[in-house]
Amino acid sequence: MRPIAKKLASMTGYARVSDSIEDANIQIEIKTVNSRGLDIRLRVGPGFDPLESQIRRMLGDRLVRGSISCSISCQRDVGGSQLEINQQALGAVLDALDALSGKIEADRPRLDGILAIKGVLETREKPMSAEVEENLHSAILSLLHTCIDDLVQARQFEGARLREFISTRIDEIENLTRAAEDHPSRRREVFVERISRQIGDLSDAGSVLSEERLHHEALILATKADIREELDRLFSHVKSARQLIASGGPVGRKLDFLAQEFNREANTLCSKSHAVELTTIGLDLKSSIDQLREQVQNIE
């Protein structure tokens, strides 16, 4: 049985989920953008630090590349809060009142006035029981799994668009390579005529060249003008790129390397070109390759 090909995924994606459990509202948001490797940045609410290593492991198991920002918040209902007096702040206020009582003629402040002073009365969440804490942790991890699923789906959706664009660029590269291969200037009779004319120009320059020197110059000119190796490598890279796209998965690095190799061969083809039309083909090749390289950098 043939293995099922993995889908191509973009490094750009977004997902957000929320749920309520144990009188708490949990919200998870994950954003990803391009990166050379895997960079995970977490922001979790107070009390959930013990989950950080597990959260990182869950993200790393599903995502290979990208700069990942994951935010997890848990807001408990007001009913789960209690008012507490900050004894230290209250003591400081009372000490200040005692110090001023003999210096300033004023009525002693009422209790509600003292409690209204910032920092004296604080709202704190009631401590969670071990059972409630365990349930919240389980709910967060379960919701995170759902959020990662949504994120992977979003990245694969964008990956499908990239796949179509990249496949079109690869088709263009193959067609242009074929056009360069079939260009009339590469026909044997045209090549021989051009070499003969250039050798004739050397002879007419006034210097007497030996037969051996003429053969040597002809060999140099032929070597400089031959683009067979560049064409073969371009066709080989086209085949490799299509295989990578068909296999899917995290192939962005390999496709980026191939794009660099495409560009190297196109540059050499342009430098060896001895016809205006062939140079134009080489420049069109470079344009398609630049577009290809720009987009493969978005692939995981």
Q: Is residue 185 a part of any domain in this protein?
A: yes
Instruction: Give me the sign of the Cα torsion angle 266, 270, 276, 278.
Output: negative
pLDDT, tens only, 234-259: 999 999 999 999 999 999 999 999 99
pTM of the model: 0.73
One domain, residues 45 and 180: no
One domain, residues 87 and 180: no
One domain, residues 103 and 221: no
- Domain limits for position 61: 13-79+127-156
What is residue 213's predicted lDDT score, i.e. its pLDDT? 59
One domain, residues 177 and 277: yes
Structure tokens at 146: 């759902």
What is residue 146's predicted lDDT score, i.e. its pLDDT? 97
Q: Is residue 61 a part of any domain in this protein?
A: yes
What is residue 208's predicted lDDT score, i.e. its pLDDT? 56
Residue 20 to residue 186: CA distance in whole angstroms: 71
Q: Is residue 57 a part of any domain in this protein?
A: yes
Confidence of residue 186 (pLDDT cuts 50, 70, 90): low
pLDDT exceeds 60 at position 206: no
Contacts of 203 (CB under 8 A, 6+ apart): 209, 214
What is residue 111's predicted lDDT score, i.e. its pLDDT? 75
pLDDT, tens only, 78-108: 555 566 777 887 778 777 777 777 676 666 7
Q: How many other CB atoms sit within 10 Å of the CB of residue 3?
A: 6
Q: What is the CATH number of the domain that holds 67?
A: 3.30.230.10
Q: Which of 1, 2, 6, 283 lies closest to 159, judged by CA?
A: 6
What is residue 271's predicted lDDT score, i.e. its pLDDT? 86
| Mean pLDDT score across all residues of the chain | 84
Q: Scan for tokens 């210096």, then name that residue.
A: 103
Q: Annotate 129-184 with three-state secondary structure.
A: CHHHHHHHHHHHHHHHHHHHHHHHHHHHHHHHHHHHHHHHHHHHHHHHHHHHHCCH
Structure tokens at 69: 């920002």
Confidence of residue 123 (pLDDT cuts 50, 70, 90): low
Q: Is residue 236 a part of any domain in this protein?
A: yes
**Strand 24-33 with 13-21, pairing:** antiparallel
Q: How many other CB atoms sit within 10 Å of the CB of residue 211?
A: 7
One domain, residues 207 and 280: yes
Confidence of residue 1 (pLDDT cuts 50, 70, 90): very low
pLDDT, tens only, 216-227: 655 666 666 678
**CA 176 to each of CA 26, 136, 240, 280: distance values in angstroms, whole numbers, following the listed order:** 54, 59, 17, 10
One domain, residues 112 and 233: no
pLDDT exceeds 80 at position 214: no
What is residue 134's predicted lDDT score, i.e. its pLDDT? 87
What is residue 3's predicted lDDT score, i.e. its pLDDT? 42
Contacts of 136 (CB under 8 A, 6+ apart): 21, 22, 24, 26, 48, 74, 128
One domain, residues 281 and 178: yes
For residues 37 and 120, the model is more confident at 37
pLDDT exceeds 80 at position 143: yes
Name the amino acid, one letter, at 176: L
Confidence of residue 127 (pLDDT cuts 50, 70, 90): low
One domain, residues 198 and 292: yes
Contacts of 238 (CB under 8 A, 6+ apart): 170, 173, 174, 177
Q: Is residue 1 a part of any domain in this protein?
A: no
One domain, residues 94 and 200: no
pLDDT, tens only, 12-35: 999 999 998 877 899 999 999 999
Q: Which of 93, 123, 121, 120 lies closest to 109, judged by CA?
A: 93
Please tell me the least confidently modeled range out of 53-67, 86-100, 197-211. 197-211
Q: Structurally, how many domains does the chain consist of?
A: 3
What is residue 120's predicted lDDT score, i.e. its pLDDT? 72
